[in-house]
Amino acid sequence: MPETAPGPDFPFLHVRPRRGWLNDPNGLAKVDGTYHVFFQHNPDEPVHDRIHWGHASSTDLLTWSEHPVALVPRAGKLDAAGCWSGCVTDDDGVPTAVLTAVPDQAPNAGALLARSDRSLLRWTPGDRFVAGPPFPEGIEEVRDPFVVRVDGHRYVVQGAGARHGRPQLLLWAADDLEHWVDLGALLTDDDPVAAVVAEANIWECPNLFRLPDLRTGAERWVLVLSLWRWVDGHHQLAGVRYLVGDLQPDGPALRFVASSGGVLDDGSAFYAPQVLPDGDRVLVWGWAWEVGRTEDQVRAAGWAGVLTFPRELSLDDGVLGARPAAELRGLRTGSLEPAPDGAVEVAAFELLSICTARLRLVDDGRELFALDIGGSGEAPTTVLVDGSLVELFRGGATRTERAYPTTTSRWYVDADPGVVEAWSLGLP
């Protein structure tokens, strides 16, 4: 594919290569003061095929260095049909990727390990599955391992389910990362809260972590799930849900019992997030897919998919919320004053609205996109715009959208004077 210069719709401040396909964030890690973000990536074409692990790193969450692909499908090996979603964990000081690998196009994915030095630049994949087919009865697909530590022990959670069946999460004991012990299901949709909040055929990309509840001070367990549904002969990615609850002992195993739950992001372009505990906070990145672009437009652009900005998660009275990571204020390069008609002349900007306002993208008199960004009596609203990616934050709720500027389009902010503060954004 020939190299193309990114257009005004390219999100320069976010994690994504200049070309190719990107989807799920993987392997989020902080090693020796450096943040590492891996992601599902096809470097050759902007299509979901021949998935590698792309890699970027940063010491400040603002300026990202792109690295050569970390994991590559190997002909004739267990990952010949792709290096799919997973995580990175510390195994006695050795950074270790725990990922889904597929040896061919059949649904026979297994969990594979790959080990690196502390640069996380050079990886050596294993030569056997640490967990794989055959699957338990009623399960057709298992994927997306996530490592979590509970009371000094290491466990792995995997998403599972079937096209015409019911979802569940599998649990493995993995103190020895090379030898997993099957502990059955961590969660099924027999849980009444999960059944209502997270209806799906397959639960994908599970994340299990702890957060203190700001209202009560008590630490709670939180599960984040991406919903895969089979509808009218096609798969449907149906958004991201969270469950708040408790881990209860069940013999040698654990069971998650949910007490509340909800939607993590109610926009049209958010899926497959992954969390990274970082000191006294938990960060999360998500995948923002393309919305409303044709296949021809995607191929002409040469790229598809982008990761969101990092967000900080919080729990308030059983409700999971998010705000932009504190470091992102470092992207502000100066105050921004929209033109008298509300026009904004920069490609990346931040808005803070304290009252009713509206953001619009207009091209030759035609409105391409519109978003209400405030309202009387509501919590202040922050909106971050970078090329075609729009991220809204209000009182813990988030919304991720896509809109595609052209060389002739303009952003407009419709608001009364003094209602909206604005900053232009750029690299420090």
Q: Which amino acid is at 112?
A: L
Give the single-character DSSP code of 44: S
Burial (CB count within 10 angstroms: exposed 0-12, middle 13-18, buried 19+), residue 273: buried
Q: What is the pLDDT of residues 84-96, one digit of tens each?
A: 999 999 999 999 9
Bridge partners, 150 (sequence order) = 153
**pLDDT at position 2, please?**
42
Task: Please report, in tens digits, the pLDDT of each residue of the chain (428 residues total).
Answer: 345 568 999 999 999 999 999 999 999 999 999 999 999 999 999 999 999 999 999 999 999 999 999 999 999 999 999 999 999 999 999 999 999 999 986 667 999 999 999 999 999 999 999 999 888 889 999 999 999 999 999 999 999 999 999 999 999 999 999 999 999 999 999 999 999 999 999 999 999 999 999 999 999 999 999 999 999 999 999 999 999 999 999 999 999 999 999 999 999 999 999 999 999 999 999 999 999 999 999 999 999 999 999 999 999 999 999 999 999 999 999 999 999 999 999 999 999 998 889 999 999 999 999 999 986 567 899 999 999 999 999 999 999 999 999 999 999 999 988 889 999 999 99
Task: Please state, in angstroms and rounded to a whole number, the distance separating the CA atoms of residues 314 and 325.
Answer: 11
Task: Please state, in angstroms and rounded to a whole number, the distance separating the CA atoms of residues 124 and 127.
Answer: 10
Distance of CA 323 to the CA centre of its chain: 14
What does the longest C-alpha to C-alpha distance in the chain come to?
67
Three-state DSSP at 107 gives coil
Q: Can you say whether the dihedral through the CA atoms of 290, 295, 296, 301 is positive or negative?
A: positive
Task: Please state, in angstroms and rounded to a whole number, the distance separating the CA atoms of residues 185 and 158.
Answer: 9
Helices assigned H by DSSP within 137-211: 192-197
Give the single-character DSSP code of 151: T
Q: What is the pLDDT of residues 339-383, one digit of tens each?
A: 999 999 999 999 999 888 999 999 999 999 999 998 656 789 999
Smallest CA-to-CA distance from 51 within 287, 293, 400 is with 287
**pLDDT at position 374, please?**
80
Domains annotated for the chain, with CATH where assigned, are 20-325 (2.115.10.20), 328-425 (no CATH)
Smallest CA-to-CA distance from 208 within 251, 269, 147 is with 147
Task: Please state, in angstroms and rounded to a whole number, the distance separating the CA atoms of residues 64 and 35.
Answer: 9
**pLDDT at position 4, please?**
57
The tokens for 49 are 């095929």
Q: State the Cα angle at 349 between 348 and 351, rounded to 5°.
A: 155
**pLDDT at position 1, please?**
36
Q: State the Cα angle at 78 between 202 and 124, rounded to 5°.
A: 110
Q: Where do we find the tokens 């595609």?
A: 404
Helices assigned H by DSSP within 84-159: none
Is the pTM value of this prediction over 0.95?
Answer: yes
